[in-house]
């Protein structure tokens, strides 16, 4: 799956979990730049992404991500 398609699907998940239709994600987007993306919502996002793409992340993976691009890379590797 292409990174642009993954990003679009992840953006939809973010909008749903954070209840904000105005979220626009880029590969460089960091948690500090998205209102509501905190530790608890981070875990909710991970679970939703795993279910959506039918994949599983290790805790080492999701605690190491620095931006959305790294999440996209991890998803792409697992697909």
Pair 75, 5: CB distance under 8 Å: no
> pTM, whole model, 2 decimals?
0.93
Question: Could you give the CA distance from residue 16 to residue 10 in angstroms, rounded to a whole number?
Answer: 10
Query: Taking the domains of the chain in order of start, what are their residue ranges?
Result: 3-78
- Distance, CA of 41 to CA of 39 (rounded, Å): 6
CA distance 73 to 27: 10
pLDDT in 10s for each residue of the chain, 79 residues:
899 999 999 999 999 999 999 999 999 999 999 999 998 999 999 999 999 999 999 999 988 999 999 999 999 999 9
CATH T-level fold of 3-78: 1.10.1200
């Amino acid at each position: 799956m292409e990174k642009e398609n993954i990003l679009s699907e992840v953006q939809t998940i973010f909008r749903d979990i954070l209840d904000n239709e105005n979220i626009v994600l880029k590969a460089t987007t960091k948690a500090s730049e998205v209102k509501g993306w905190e530790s608890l919502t981070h875990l909710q996002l991970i679970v939703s992404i795993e279910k959506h793409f039918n994949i599983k992340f290790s805790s080492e993976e999701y605690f190491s991500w620095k931006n959305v691009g790294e999440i996209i890379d991890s998803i792409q590797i697992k697909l």
